Chains A and B, each alone.
Chain A
């Protein structure tokens, strides 16, 4: 069953702009993770936010989590062409065995 749903499905921005992607999920989670996938490659873990956290930063990445709305957002500031990739959210329940990826947001950063 699909848990996370990213929005939008695709996003095009100019270099230097900020990119925001959203993820909604349906059931209670222990943590939510964001991954990046460059074209035709495997996924790379970006950041994990726990259910008792509201915001987390890592370099140019900012993740927020609103458990009351069952949603998360990933903000990439001052985007670069190298940020062009697909971004996935993944949710984990408290047992860790229900680890579910959404369909992803395809980000294009134009030079």
Chain B
């Protein structure tokens, strides 16, 4: 079974702090994703990565950066946390981006981040 783990289930940070959210997958997936989930808005894609050191902006990249130095690890960085970044953050991975091959995503348990 694919396992996607996230470094923290709950995190509380202060405005202006630099925040690192870590995600690790154990199935040698090429692609990894960071989403944020807010009530009524569903999941919104922040960034994704299709290979080591490669990244693509999603729908809401502002205020975030990412790092993928190793295939199994994808980090989300909040350079200077703000209260409007309080949210649930979900990491996911997939074997392929190609829809024709069945590009289902496997999710981690999520990190609920509160920025005070």
Binding site for B on A (CB under 8 A): 1-2, 29-31, 33, 35, 40-45, 48, 88, 90, 92-97, 99-104
Contacts and interface: CB of A to CB of B under 8 A. Distances in A.
Residue in B43, B98, B105, B109 whose Cβ sees the most chain A Cβ within 10 Å: B43
B102 A48 contact: yes
Interface residues of B, number: 27
A76 B4 CA distance: 27
B53 to A, nearest CB: 18
Nearest to A29: B99
Contacts of B64: none
A92 B83 CA distance: 32
A2 B43 CA distance: 9
A92 B33 CA distance: 15
Contacts of B106: 45
A26 to B, nearest CB: 14
Given A42-B90, A97-B97, A102 B42 contact: yes
B99 A93 contact: yes
B59 interface: yes
Interface in B1-55: 4, 35, 40-43, 45
